[in-house]
Amino acid sequence: MKRLITTIALCLGAPALAQDTDLSGKIAVELNSAETREGNCMLTFTITNGTKAEASQVIYETVLFNTDGQVDRLTLFDFGALPPARPRVRQFVVPQLACETLGRVLFNGANTCTGEGLDAAVCDKGLLPSSRLEIEVLG
């Protein structure tokens, strides 16, 4: 039955089911939605810390590219504290940007990755970026 559901999801263009992805030792970041509000772009991400340690603070240096592939801006997205094995939703408002002009999001690297027992390298080496939208997400 699980295989049938996964097959149907893939045929419909839906992402694979979360339980089918092994997040052990990884940080999974998914761009879930993008909505233009009053000339600003609100980006909504789901993020899951797949390590066994709590991350007390995770901040990514993020590059936003327009649909022509040109860098629009470099910014920091502070995902805050991330408990192990529990998804979190974070929203960021990017001023003076229409989401329709956003073509790509690049997590350029971890600016901060701290937590007791957390290997700071996991925020870079273990990053699993994805997107539910036509906006490409890389890391």
Tell me how far CA of residue 48 lies from CA of 17, 18, 39, 41, 118, in angstroms.
14, 10, 29, 23, 14
Q: Is residue 100 predicted with pLDDT exceeding 90?
A: yes
Measure the CA–CA gap between 78 and 37, rounded to whole angstroms: 21
Burial of 84 (0-12, 13-18, 19+ CB in 10 A): middle
Q: Is the pLDDT of residue 78 over 90?
A: yes
pTM over 0.75: yes
Bridge partners for 28 per DSSP:
48, 128
Domain positions in the chain are: 21-138
In words, the CATH class of domain 21-138 is mainly beta
* 3-state SS class at 80: strand
Q: What percent of the chain has pLDDT over 70?
A: 86
